[in-house]
Chain A
Amino acid sequence: MSIIKFLNDFTTENLLEAKSSRRQIFGTLGSLGKKAALAAVPFGLATMPSRTYAQDSSGDPVAALQLALTLEYLEDEFYATVIDCNVLPTGRPETVYRQIAQHERAHVEFLIAGLTAAGVEPVAKPTFDFTVGGMFDPFNQTGIGKDVAYAQALALAQAFEDTGVRAYKGQAVNLQGSPFLTAALQIHSVEARHASEIRRLRGLKGWITNNERGEGMPEATQAVYNGEENVSQGGLDVTSLGSGSPFSMEASTEAYDEPISGADAVAIASLFIVA
């Protein structure tokens, strides 16, 4: 089966209607408020003052790096497990995942080394559940089949990479004036390269149009894309800067990636964290 046909089948509706009880579970998780999401992070982060997640109020570079490390742990374990579970078609998908996996592992080690060198204890690695309580089976652990598992692994990768781009961007201001800013920017652009390739592997454009999560993405991933429809940049409505296709809503939203707050990033990551 071609991946495109397969992805067409992998819609929220198809996936979830077969498992309506699970839809309820996922809906519950997806609607977690910020407080609940923080409470669901059991590995030390949640015991920090909640302000450490607020992009606009903290300016705390250590909290920004701990959040980054948490997201990198998540990506690292995800890609490593996908590769280990042998759900990837050989050729381009395997090559792409291996390259990304190598980077995410390097990011984990880089951040741990940086935090340690700064005299800060890095957060411990959480226990992840990438099935979200049985909702997904990206590693083909329950025999959903390699094709379906691969499609889910692609959808999750897209959500993780697009989230990573937004989360690093949201933390840049908290790192401003610290020696970590440039390094964080250097990770940020790598996540964006990853996101673009994963999206293209799924048959999408490499950039985000409006707040569209893209064909085949589960509805529960919409939180990753909310806010991407913004066209106000530095007080300027960029759709009004000229006429023609460069100033359409589509182009004007694609041309700028939007940040998310630390709290929103944690809420998304928490869906996959059990302990």
Chain B
Amino acid sequence: MKKNVVKVLQPKEIRSNQRRQFIKMGGLAIVGSGLILACDPDSGTMRGEAPGEDPDGDGIFDLGEGDLGVLNYAYALEQLEADFYTKVVNSFYSGISDVERTVLTDLYNHEVNHREFFKAAITAAVSGDTDLVLPTLEFDYGDLDFGSRDMILNTAKALEDTGVVAYNGAGYLLTNPTYLLLAGKIVSVEARHASAIRSLLNPNSADFAGDDVVTVDNGLDGALAPSEVLAAVTALGYIKTQFTAKFLP
């Protein structure tokens, strides 16, 4: 399949203009305190030396390392979820029940909110240097039939379960307590979503926290490394914009 490669390098003049614009959003600065240092404490100049944006000049965005990398990673997953549910609510499958419509509309609302939150929070954290912010991704769902209840709910289940294991597996990578708490605020909502979707698919069962996702012996949900999650998400084939995660485990 053909992938669109996003060119993230831009002329310097545009960069500095953009930075000025974002710096005006002064109220957002709290989010980023400490992050720049975490990116590359030994580097006098951020650009070109820290990962994030395009460290090897191949024109492909890299998520970056440390807290920034994790935030961009979460932003990528939230972009996928938000885009998927936007398509779902714009063409609901026929015969959808009222409960299903309400649940999917709520999930659309929540995921779009998460997506815009990460965009704003990361932008603030890098002081408006948009070269360090994951670009808007493009998606193509190929053969996915948005008219099929079965396909939509099962895709939603996969995305929500993936969100849970992704946040659970990335929490320890965060050094800034504010970000850890934010990830915690979001992951439990993803888990509530996963439970609800699973309950819609199999209403009179234990699937809401099924043995396929919660280990019976210890009662623990999954936790996967970013590389594992990204490999699984890439395998879905929905994300058309290439990016790399060279600095995340």
| Closest partner residue, chain B, to A186 (CB atom) | B220
Segment from B1-9, B23-31, B38-46, B127-135 that makes contact with A:
B23-31
Cβ–Cβ < 8 Å partners of A110 in chain B: 218-220
Task: Write the residues of chain B forming the contact surface with A, with a CB cutoff of 8 angstroms.
Answer: 27-31, 102-103, 105-106, 108-114, 116-117, 120-121, 124, 164, 167-169, 171-172, 174, 177-182, 184-196, 199, 203-206, 208-210, 214, 216-223
Q: Which of B164, B171, B178, B191 contacts A181 (CB 8 A)?
A: B171
CA–CA, A183 and B222, complex, Å: 9
Q: For the complex formed, measure the closest distance between the CB of B216 and the CB atoms of chain A, giving whole angstroms.
A: 7
Segment from A36-44, A100-108, A125-133 that makes contact with B:
A100-108
Does B192 lie within 8 Å of A192, measured CB to CB? yes
Does A242 lie within 8 Å of B220, measured CB to CB? no
CA–CA, A103 and B211, complex, Å: 10
Give the top 10 A-B pairs by smallest Cβ distance, nearest first.
Answer: A106-B219, A235-B30, A192-B191, A251-B109, A99-B206, A196-B195, A246-B112, A192-B188, A196-B192, A103-B219
CA–CA, A246 and B182, complex, Å: 18
Within 8 A of B (CB), among A195-218: 195-197, 200, 205-207
Taking residues whose C-beta sits less than 8 angstroms from the other chain, chain A's interface range is 35 or more
| Closest partner residue, chain B, to A257 (CB atom) | B188
Q: For the complex formed, measure the closest distance between the CB of A83 and the CB atoms of chain B, giving whole angstroms.
A: 14
CA–CA, A105 and B167, complex, Å: 24
CA–CA, A113 and B108, complex, Å: 40
Does A233 lie within 8 Å of B218, measured CB to CB? no
Does B30 lie within 8 Å of A245, measured CB to CB? no
Does A169 lie within 8 Å of B219, measured CB to CB? no
Q: For the complex formed, measure the closest distance between the CB of A68 and the CB atoms of chain B, giving whole angstroms.
A: 12
CA–CA, A206 and B220, complex, Å: 20
Does B180 lie within 8 Å of A173, measured CB to CB? yes
Instruction: Using A186-B168, A188-B187, A251-B113 as known contacts, say yes or no to A193 and B218 having CB atoms under 8 A apart.
Output: no
